[in-house]
Amino acid sequence: MKALLQRVNWAQIKINNELTAQIQRGLLVFVGLEKNDDKVVADQKLDKILSYRIFPDSTDKMNLSLTDIAGDLLLVSQFTLAADTNKGLRPSFSSAMPPVEAEPLYDYLVSAAKEKYGNVKGNVKGNVKTGKFAADMKISLENDGPVTFLLT
């Protein structure tokens, strides 16, 4: 599983010209599922996403996590992240998880994020939003920094 994290001031998703998800300060995370991924991998990646220290502290060092700042989280399934781009001029998707298997795992990741992140900071519920699996989405964002990391 690959996760592309973008620290954002805001992000939104439109599907068929309709606003379907929107967040404020936090993380926009594109998720690429690969053939060998499972719930254990999803849980490990989610823990890392929630704990990854990429937000500035009072001295402007990247020392705070999404959980620390109680930021928003927007998860988007993006199978192209699983592409092999090492050979030729066309990406190969042979390592990507087939959609029939990927959708339930993506749904599991979203549910786990809502459950885990909704229980941080006492009873404060984290704002977790999502795109729609396999939809043609138009994503707008303001990258903060820019700060972008690929977790593999």
- Class of residue 43 by CB neighbours under 10 A (exposed 0-12, middle 13-18, buried 19+): middle
- Give the strand pairing for 55-56 and 62-64: antiparallel
List average pLDDT for each run of 10 residues in the chain, which is 152 residues long.
98 98 97 97 98 97 95 96 94 95 97 83 71 96 97 95
What's the CA gap between 9 and 23, in Å, rounded?
Answer: 8
Query: What pTM value is reported for the model?
Result: 0.94
Q: What pLDDT does 122 receive?
A: 53
Number of domains in the chain: 1
Q: What pLDDT does 37 receive?
A: 98
Nearest Cα neighbor of 5 from 55, 40, 41, 57 is 55
Residues 6+ away with beta carbon under 8 Å from 117:
50, 66, 67, 73, 126, 128
State the catalytic residues.
Answer: 78-80
**Residue 38: C-alpha distances to residues 2, 5, 44, 150 (Å):** 13, 20, 10, 19
Helix or strand holding residue 50 (H, E):
helix 39-51
- Class of residue 3 by CB neighbours under 10 A (exposed 0-12, middle 13-18, buried 19+): buried
Cβ(8)–Cβ(142) below 8 Å: yes
Q: What pLDDT does 119 receive?
A: 56
Q: What pLDDT does 118 receive?
A: 73
CATH code: domain of residue 20? 3.50.80.10
Range of the structural domain that residue 39 is part of: 2-151
